[in-house]
Structure formats: structure tokens, C-alpha cells
């Protein structure tokens, strides 16, 4: 017998069974639709990417957040949200902070790990304020505007370094609260433009770390002040030796009064930030967690009040699931792919930041339509010393960056491609030598680096990819190339990424081009696609 004759004959069902089956299928489909319509609950981390030292405030039904971006420019990002979960980039407070040699990567100097640090965000008498300080310039900055999303910034420089400072308005007076271990309060002029002569300037809380122990890797810092129901609450963090970041809370009946403090949270090292309320009266703490090479990632912590104290977490723990229903949860424009199709004078997408100060003559979006062109203006020793390196945050749990590069105009001694930027770095790129073009995978630290693998390249265009794996603190980067963007070949070894205080930020995807022998070479990037 043939194969088909061995199959059982198909049974013919009465119409009633067919109708019943159709109704059953319909009910299942309707059930699926209902499940899709029902809003899921948000989860922690709210952003699995480097958004450290968050400062959050609410104006009406809109939340705003500022964060640390260190040596990257533009800097001091402003983000907005309607639900405390999904955040969108609005703008930056400054295009560059300073044109000094360190900020510009000139004459062998650099500002890695410096730039601007922990900020504070305020709304007072119809005006928005964001303040920060810089270890590069040793100054404190206050930026203000009537419209935080579109208004012009007024910039004030105070010739003093107020570490992790919190700008605070109270009863017609203006203060900065700052410091490390000893927390200090200094009074500013009423317009928040200078230190007030003969104003308050004293220790507010001596040895504020003491409530968390007696030995510390990092004493108390990260001040964020808030007034609730007539009482004053100061959020701080500390890092007790051989333990983890710890959130502290202090309170007083008057701003300059006697403060009592306690440990607020010791879970997973989640700490540093402040308290925020919702329009319907719920409370949260917006903090961050050290998460290895990806950086410091934001967590939202439910808070309730007991005896006029904020109680952080659920039974002292930060939950994975949050009591907030959302239609989606994503990066929005904080991380974004780019096809480099820009109109004349159109700014780069806000997800992008330059490593240190950009040099306008060395990059262009219009020299070749649909491409980012990077041109070498000088000779450099390494990937981390070159100017005009364009970066975006890496993100978890896994992420991939893919670019297509045209190397037709490279010169001998040039290197260009896409890298994993931190103190211990790696990249995949193209090297041009006297013998021709080569695809290379490089790893190094500072100006000490080596080519791990070199493959001859006969094409003018090549697809390059880097893969990041941050699951369970694996923190690895691998690299691959493709002629057609379909078939990929791995190259080099696995980069074991590590979070280093030299840079003090999570790894960045970085598009770069640098020269080692002669200037004038250029490369064109067709796109940057993040997955």
C-alpha cells in the first residue's frame, strides 16, 4: 500500500459540532484580546540603563528628572514622565560645561569621571531650577528657566564646590545643602545667583553617617531635601565598609533645627535619590542600584508613612513588580536607533552624547546626506583619547549595536568603528595600513591597547556589531562583522567589562574615528541600530 492509503479517513462532523468549535475558538480569541487590553503592572528596574543620581520632582501631573552624565556633552539631561515609569528625554541644561583642556581632551588631559555630578531639581514661583557641581571646574552651577521643556536657560556659576548639593527654597530664602559625612547648609541670595553675604553657612548634620555604622567606604552624601506637612526630610546615602549602599533619612521640625536620622533602606544596594508623591497621594522613593558594567540603574520604591517617617519598600524590600499599571514600559528616546537622515541644521537625537566636548569641524551630518561623517583633525594614541566620539548608553539585560561604515576615505594609520567605551574598553573597527584595509578587534585600557585579531578587508563598506550581555552581572561584550548584514562572523575575544571609577559611568556604545599617522581621513556611518 502507498503511504497515503495508510492514513485514517477524515471524519465528517455534524454542523452542530462545527458551530460549537467556532464558538470555542471565538471565545478563546476574545479572551486573548481581553488579556492584551488589560494593563500590565510596571516592574523594576524602571530603566535598565545608566541613569545615576536621579533628582525627581512633580509639577501638576508631570514628573521631571535630572541625572548625572559626568564628562559627556551635552550634559545634565532633563527627562519627563506621566507615570514615574516611562521617561522621555526633553533636553539638556548645557551643550558644553567648559572649554578647558580637560573637558576638550586636549594636550593629553581628560575629564573622565568628572564633569557634572549629582544634581537637584526645583520648581519655585513659576520658575524651574536645576543645580549641579563639577569636579572639573571646582564650581557649582544653577540653571533656571521659565519653561523647562523649551525655555532659554539662565546659567549661574558659583565659585565653590558644593558636593552632591540640594537646592532648597524655604519661606522666601534659598539654600544649598551639601557635603560628605558632615552635611552643610549655606544660604544663597534670594535670586539664587550667589552666596549670601553674612547668610547661614554652617554644619547642619555633623557626622550624618553615624546612624549606619562607624566604618565606611563612602560616608553620607547625595543630599536631597524635601518639606512634607511642615517637617523637613533629608535623604542621604552611605556605603558602610563590607556592606552595600544604604539609604538614610533625617528629619527635623525646622530647617535649621535638630535632626534625627535612621537607616531607611538596605536592600540590593538600592540608594541615592529622593522622595516623590503622586497627584492621588501615593509616595515613592526614586533611587538607583549599582548594576555592574551597565552602570547605575533607576529603581522605584513604594513608600508609606508611619509616625511622620517615610517607610521605604515592602517589608523592607524593593519589589520587582510595582503597583502602577502601564500600557508599556520602554526606553522611549533615552536610547534610540538612528539612520542619520537629518535635515539641514537639525540637531542630533537626544539619546546621543559626545565623549567630552565635540569639535564642530570634525563631524557632519550634511557633508554626505544620510550619513554621519567623522573626520580626523589630529593624531591620537588611543580610542579613549580621540575627540568626536559619539556615544549612547548600553542597556540590559542584553543589547546589540549595529552600524554600517564606509571606509573609502580612510588614511594610513586610521582606526574607525564601534566600541564599548569605559576605562577597560574594546572595539571592532577597520584599520588602514600600507598593506591595505583590515577588520580588527581591539582591547585595551587607557593608551595601552592591542589588536586581538586582524582580518583582511576587500570591501569599502562593512557591517560591524557589538553584543552586550548584562544578565546576572555577566558583563561581557563580543564583536562580529558582516559583508552583507546577514551572515555574521565573530572576531577577537570576549571583552570582560568592568565598571571603573576612572570613568564612573556605565559602558557606552561609541562610534569613533582616530588617526595615528596623518590627519584628514574620514569615515561615513550609515546608521546605528540598537536592539
Is-catalytic flag, 459? no
- pLDDT value at position 39? 82
Q: Is the pLDDT of residue 19 over 60?
A: no
238-279 per-position pLDDT tens digit: 999 999 999 999 999 999 999 999 999 999 999 999 999 999
Provide the 10 A C-beta neighbour count for residue 520: 11
- CA-to-CA distance for 399 and 146, rounded, in angstroms? 38
Is-catalytic flag, 221? yes
- pLDDT value at position 244? 93
Q: Is the pLDDT of residue 32 over 80?
A: no
- pLDDT value at position 154? 98
Confidence of residue 3 (pLDDT cuts 50, 70, 90): very low
What stretches of 105-255 adopt beta strand conformation (E)? Answer: 120-124, 127-134, 139-145, 154-158, 166-170, 173-180, 182-188, 201-205, 216-228, 231-240, 246-252
311-352 per-position pLDDT tens digit: 999 999 999 999 999 999 999 999 999 999 999 999 999 999
* Mean pLDDT score of the chain: 93
Domains of the chain: 43-325 (2.115.10.20), 353-530 (2.60.120.200)
Please pick, among 83, 221, 267, 475, the residue that the annotation labels catalytic: 221
Please pick, among 50, 53, 431, 475, the residue that the annotation labels catalytic: 53
189-225 per-position pLDDT tens digit: 999 999 999 999 999 999 999 999 999 999 999 999 9
83-122 per-position pLDDT tens digit: 999 999 999 999 999 999 999 999 999 999 999 999 999 9
- pLDDT value at position 403? 98
129-164 per-position pLDDT tens digit: 999 999 999 999 999 999 999 999 999 999 999 999
Q: Report how far apart, in Å, the C-alpha atoms of 523 and of each of 10, 148, 409, 419, 507 are.
A: 65, 37, 6, 15, 23
- pLDDT value at position 37? 56
Amino acid at each position: 500500500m502507498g503511504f497515503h492509503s495508510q492514513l485514517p479517513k477524515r471524519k465528517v462532523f455534524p454542523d452542530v459540532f462545527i458551530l460549537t468549535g467556532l464558538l470555542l475558538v471565538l471565545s478563546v480569541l476574545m479572551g486573548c484580546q481581553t488579556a492584551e487590553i488589560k494593563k500590565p503592572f510596571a516592574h523594576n528596574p524602571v530603566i535598565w540603563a545608566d541613569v545615576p543620581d536621579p533628582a525627581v520632582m512633580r509639577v501638576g501631573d508631570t514628573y521631571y528628572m535630572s541625572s548625572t552624565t559626568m564628562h559627556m556633552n551635552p550634559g545634565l539631561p532633563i527627562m519627563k514622565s506621566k507615570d514615574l515609569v516611562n521617561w522621555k528625554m526633553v533636553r539638556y541644561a548645557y551643550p558644553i560645561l567648559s572649554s578647558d583642556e580637560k573637558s576638550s581632551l586636549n594636550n593629553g588631559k581628560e575629564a573622565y569621571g568628572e564633569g557634572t555630578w549629582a544634581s537637584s531639581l526645583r520648581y519655585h514661583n513659576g520658575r524651574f531650577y536645576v543645580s549641579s557641581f563639577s569636579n572639573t571646574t571646582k564650581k557649582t552651577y544653577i540653571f533656571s528657566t521659565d519653561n523647562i521643556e523649551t525655555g532659554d536657560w539662565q546659567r549661574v556659576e558659583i565659585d565653590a564646590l558644593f558636593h552632591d548639593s540640594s537646592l532648597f527654597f524655604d519661606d522666601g530664602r534659598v539654600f544649598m545643602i551639601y557635603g560628605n559625612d558632615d552635611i552643610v547648609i549655606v544660604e544663597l541670595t534670594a535670586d539664587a545667583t550667589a552666596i549670601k553675604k553674612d547668610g547661614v553657612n554652617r554644619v547642619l548634620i555633623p557626622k550624618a553617617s553615624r546612624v549606619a555604622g562607624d566604618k565606611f567606604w563612602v560616608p553620607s552624601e547625595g543630599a536631597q531635601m524635601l518639606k512634607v506637612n511642615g517637617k523637613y526630610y533629608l535623604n542621604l546615602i552611605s556605603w558602610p565598609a563590607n556592606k552595600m549602599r544604604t539609604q538614610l533619612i533625617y528629619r527635623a521640625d525646622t530647617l535649621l533645627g535638630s535632626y534625627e536620622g535612621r537607616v531607611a533602606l538596605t536592600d540590593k544596594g538600592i540608594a541615592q535619590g529622593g522622595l516623590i508623591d503622586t497627584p492621588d497621594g501615593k509616595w515613592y522613593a526614586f533611587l538607583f542600584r549599582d548594576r555592574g558594567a551597565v552602570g547605575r540603574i533607576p529603581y522605584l520604591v513604594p513608600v508609606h508613612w508611619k509616625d511622620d517617617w517615610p517607610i521605604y519598600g515592602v517589608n523592607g524590600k524593593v519589589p520587582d513588580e510595582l503597583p502602577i499599571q502601564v500600557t508599556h514600559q520602554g526606553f522611549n528616546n533615552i536610547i534610540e536607533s538612528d539612520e542619520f537622515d537629518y535635515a539641514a541644521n537639525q540637531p542630533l537625537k537626544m539619546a546621543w552624547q559626545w565623549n567630552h566636548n565635540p569639535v564642530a569641524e570634525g563631524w557632519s551630518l550634511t557633508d554626505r546626506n544620510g550619513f554621519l561623517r567623522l573626520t580626523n583633525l589630529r593624531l591620537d594614541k588611543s580610542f579613549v583619547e580621540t575627540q568626536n566620539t559619539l556615544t549612547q548608553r548600553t542597556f540590559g539585560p542584553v543589547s546589540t549595536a549595529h552600524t554600517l561604515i564606509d571606509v573609502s576615505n580612510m588614511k594610513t594609520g586610521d582606526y574607525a568603528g564601534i566600541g564599548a567605551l569605559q576605562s577597560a574598553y574594546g572595539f571592532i573597527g577597520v584599520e588602514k595600513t600600507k598593506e591595505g584595509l583590515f577588520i580588527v578587534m581591539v582591547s585595551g585600557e587607557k593608551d595601552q591597547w592591542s589588536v586581538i585579531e586582524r582580518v583582511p578587508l576587500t570591501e569599502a563598506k562593512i557591517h560591524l556589531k557589538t553584543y552586550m550581555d548584562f544578565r546576572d552581572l555577566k558583563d561581557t561584550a563580543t564583536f562580529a562583522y558582516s559583508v552583507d548584514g546577514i551572515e555574521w562572523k565573530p572576531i577577537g575575544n570576549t571583552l570582560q567589562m568592568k565598571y571603573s571609577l576612572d570613568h564612573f559611568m556605565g559602558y557606552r556604545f561609541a562610534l569613533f574615528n582616530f588617526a595615528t599617522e596623518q590627519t584628514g581621513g574620514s569615515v561615513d556611518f550609515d546608521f546605528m541600530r540598537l536592539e
